[in-house]
A and B are shown apart, each in its own frame.
Chain A
Amino acid sequence: MKIKIDLALCQGHSVCLGEAPEVFNVIDQDDGYPHVKVLLDSPPEALRAKVMKAAKYCPNSVITVLED
């Protein structure tokens, strides 16, 4: 799987970081909301469940999971 991010929608709620800290971090910006930073663009299958939760529970639909 591959992870696609729409940064324009990110408000830094950090749900993804809570669900899958192996894959997502949230970084403060100089200006405005903190933004998600993807640590693993193509995470291993073992993390699938966590990644899917991160995408599903993101309040702003920032994360899309694409299949290879």
Chain B
Amino acid sequence: MSQSATAPLALPSKVSGEKPSIGHMEEFSANFARFLMRCNSECGELAEFNMGGQQTVLMSGPEAQEAFLKTLDQKLSRAAAYQATVPVFGKGVIFDAPPDKMKAQLKIQVDALRYQKMKNYSTVISQEVEDWVADWGDEGELDFLDEFLRLTLHTATHCLLGKDFRDQMTEEFRELYHDLEKGLQAIAFVDPYMQQPIFEARDKARARLQELIGGIIAERRANSGVVYGDALETFIAGTYADGSHLTDNEITGLVIATMFAGHHTSSGTATWTLTELARQKEYSADVLQELRALYNEDSEITFESLREIPRLERFIEEVLRLHPPLILLMRRVIEDIDYKGTLIEAGKTVAISTYGSHRNTDYFPDPERFNPNRPEPDTLFAYIPFGGGPHKCAGNAFAMMQLKAIFAALLPRYEFELVDPDETYQDDFSAIVLKPSGPCRLRYKKR
């Protein structure tokens, strides 16, 4: 994207159906994934709509998506678009920090995802999966929406805050976390500081969580020789350019931000993966065959063995194509943008839709059909479940590793069947993170 030139620029086409004052909010709220697809089919590459007063330009197609994803924060700001996260993550954390501090915090977050740490996490996740299935018995029926939410809360807290915290996780922590979650629903993107009971509960929960995590930090600072292998250890050790450490508030914020990035996204994808494994018998037989060749009765699931499971990977990638957990990625325009002769003015929001991109028939023919063997697009910007470019989801390798660890352990032991009619397992667009509509009941039976 270049600076605006002197030649007169066109403006993006406007999406039909705008209503006074609320704009397209109603249609957006009813099913935002479908609404965004309508915007694209009606207006093409750039489609402008009105989100309750905020003019928003949807950028579609790999070329526009590449421009969106590669443009840096100075021109297209993540911080300005994601202010709803500020009261949840905390003052001065990530999208509320000055640019240099934000970069340092994100760098420290990635430090916690480095190679050596990932090896620890894969061990932790495999243990958690074993504990989870320990009392399953030979057959049964479960709501896997709930099950995966719980499993991934356990893996996330275990990897982030350590074994002791995970083992002693209290009901209070679950409730605080839940109050924070409720504080980040769609309405928070309109104004996160409205007088609302959910926002009051959010602020109380944030403060109490900092007391809890602050307690662990103090304990760890007093025992500085101990190696924990979790992310908190990295957050505590991390420093800014001037050598100063993160405050308890900032460390708590990074813990929360990392939970939010990884928990629902992983649990929703795991639920969809299991549902598709039960549905797509032919492809899941291929995956099972692959897993049986890789692992026998006694072989352990290790970080190394998890890296190379191509059929399972392609299966999960196809799940992420059809059901990308984050549908809408946003930025605020800071400086006017000339995109191929069209002006996108400062102050507007720009957005891309992973869900829509993954149904672009130029790259994914017969897009609703589940087919893990489809050819890869010849561009990196058509298949974008983790975004792309310099700000690509830093947890992408963690997410894939976790999903593979779960299904490498699960699939050889149990077979799964849908309990309810096939067509009742649908995407639920009511939350910010995509998941199957609940309950998501499956029957399992020992192989």
Which residues of chain A have a CB within 8 Å of any CB of chain B?
Answer: 8-9, 11-15, 17-18, 30-34, 57, 59-61
Contacts and interface: CB of A to CB of B under 8 A. Distances in A.
A8 to B, nearest CB: 5
B328 to A, nearest CB: 22
Interface residues of B, number: 21
B115 A18 contact: yes
B392 A9 contact: yes
Contacts of A14: 114-115
A33 B107 contact: yes
B307 interface: yes
Given A15-B397, A33-B103, A60-B392, 4 more contacts: A11-B390, A13-B110, A33-B106, A33-B107
Interface in B79-131: 100, 103-104, 106-107, 110-111, 113-116
A8 B114 contact: no
A11 B109 CA distance: 10
A2 B104 CA distance: 32
A8 B107 CA distance: 14
B259 interface: no
Given A8-B70, A12-B107, A59 B100 contact: no
B337 to A, nearest CB: 18
Contact of A8 (B100, B115, B116, B389): B389
B389 A57 contact: no
Contacts, number: 48
B432 to A, nearest CB: 24
Secondary structure type dominating chain A contacts: loop
A10 B113 CA distance: 14
A13 B390 contact: no
Contacts of A60: 392, 396
B201 to A, nearest CB: 34
Given A8-B70, A9-B390, A13-B397, A31 B100 contact: yes
B227 interface: no
A11 B392 CA distance: 9
A67 to B, nearest CB: 19
B25 interface: no
A59 B394 CA distance: 8
Contacts of A31: 100, 103, 241
Nearest to B391: A11
B107 A34 contact: yes
Contacts of A61: 380
B392 A17 contact: no
B113 A8 contact: no
B388 to A, nearest CB: 8
Contacts of A8: 70, 389-390
A17 B115 CA distance: 9
Contacts of A33: 103, 106-107, 110
A32 B103 contact: yes
Given A57-B307, A60-B392, A13 B380 contact: no
14 contacts: A8-B70, A11-B394, A12-B107, A12-B110, A12-B111, A12-B114, A13-B114, A17-B115, A18-B115, A31-B241, A32-B103, A32-B106, A33-B107, A61-B380
A11 B112 CA distance: 12
B107 A32 contact: yes
Contacts of A57: 307, 397
